[in-house]
Structure 1
Amino acid sequence: MANRNEPCLIPELFEALQKEQLAFFSTVDAETGAPFMNAVSWVYALNDETLRIAVDSRSKIIDNIVENPLVSLAVFAAQSTYTISGTARLVSSQLKDVPLKASVIEMTIAGVRDVMFYGSKIAVEPSYEKTYDLQAAQKLDAQIMEALKREKI
């Protein structure tokens, strides 16, 4: 299924992005014009054409998006690797009821592409562990993901 191109999220990707998911978010560096990539996990598919991503309000990602809204997100799901491209805008600089100063970016999807190399599949999706207080991490993750799901932010 390599190089499959779609105008919006396919059902498997939409489902994967209903929960916290490791992804790599790329913007254009506002100072240098070079690609700028960050690992993110607070990603939520609002619908098949819109993603919401929460980041620390001090993140350079925000300055980059203000300067140039073109972005992409790389995700491992459904035994493959996908890049989701589109435009982004800051929709909130502070989430209510969340103790961390987090901002929300909304991404309008322009295209989705399966970029896994020919004749291969992801055997085991990447995973990660929180390295700070697990109970506090779970609480914060739940608060942020719930906030991303709200119709109005």
Structure 2
Amino acid sequence: MANEVEPHLIKELFDELQKERFVTLATVDHVSGGPNVSAISWLLAKDEQTILFAVDNRSRIIKNISGNPFVAITLVANESTYSIQGKAHIQSERIADIPLNLALVELKIDEVRDVMFYGSKIITEPVYDKTYDPAAATRLDNQVMNAIRKA
């Protein structure tokens, strides 16, 4: 999809967003009005036009989206880098049956843009490791992702 713009997720990206993964989320800062970038991993493509994600309901992300709904997700996948832009709204301020105070946010996609620089491709995607109790991390990740799937 080199240098193309789509109004929705292409199949390869939709498939990549069916599991927890590393992305960055850019919002408009509610104090400065400038960009604010955060790394998140609890997200899921509900359909080709919708991405759901969970974040701490006290986070700057929630305050920023409440002030300005325009967001961009950066996703490294399919040998490239994509900017997924649209408007977000807080679907639920507290996801039930999760031990953390997480909000559920819905992103309605306006455009998906391949932003990889010319003549290149990604050969290794970002990999991360949870640095706290592995069993607790797996349990929490499963709870959150299942809650997002049910939303």
Q: What's the TM-score, normalizing by structure 2?
A: 0.98
Q: What amino acid maps onto 2:8 in structure 1?
A: C
Structure 2 spans left out of the alignment, 5+ residues: none
**Deviation, structure 1 residue 93:** 1.1
- Cα distance in 2 for partners of 1:15, 1:23 equals 15
**Deviation, structure 1 residue 74:** 0.2
SS at match of 2:66: helix
**Deviation, structure 1 residue 97:** 1.3
**Counterpart in the other structure of 1:78:** 78
Structure 1 spans left out of the alignment, 5+ residues: none
SS at match of 1:62: helix
Q: How does 1:25-64 map to 2 (within 5 A)?
A: 25-64=25-64
- Cα distance in 1 for partners of 2:57, 2:111 equals 27
**Deviation, structure 1 residue 66:** 0.7
SS at match of 2:147: helix
Q: What amino acid maps onto 1:107 in structure 2?
A: L
Query: 4+ runs of 1 displaced by more than 4 Å?
Result: none
Q: Would you say how many aligned residue pairs link Structure 1 and Structure 2? A: 151
SS at match of 2:144: helix
SS at match of 1:82: strand
Q: How does 1:6-17 map to 2 (within 5 A)?
A: 6-17=6-17
**Counterpart in the other structure of 1:108:** 108
Q: What's the TM-score, normalizing by structure 1?
A: 0.97
**Deviation, structure 1 residue 123:** 0.3
Partner deviation per Cα, 1:18-51 (whole Å, 9 max, x = no partner): 0001000000001110000000000100000000
**Deviation, structure 1 residue 84:** 0.2
- Cα distance in 1 for partners of 2:44, 2:94 equals 17
SS at match of 2:148: helix
**Counterpart in the other structure of 1:20:** 20
**Counterpart in the other structure of 1:88:** 88
Partner deviation per Cα, 1:77-134 (whole Å, 9 max, x = no partner): 1111000000000011111111111111100000000111111111010000000000
- Cα distance in 2 for partners of 1:31, 1:121 equals 36
Q: What amino acid maps onto 1:65 in structure 2?
A: I
**Counterpart in the other structure of 2:148:** 148
CA-atom RMSD, angstroms?
0.7
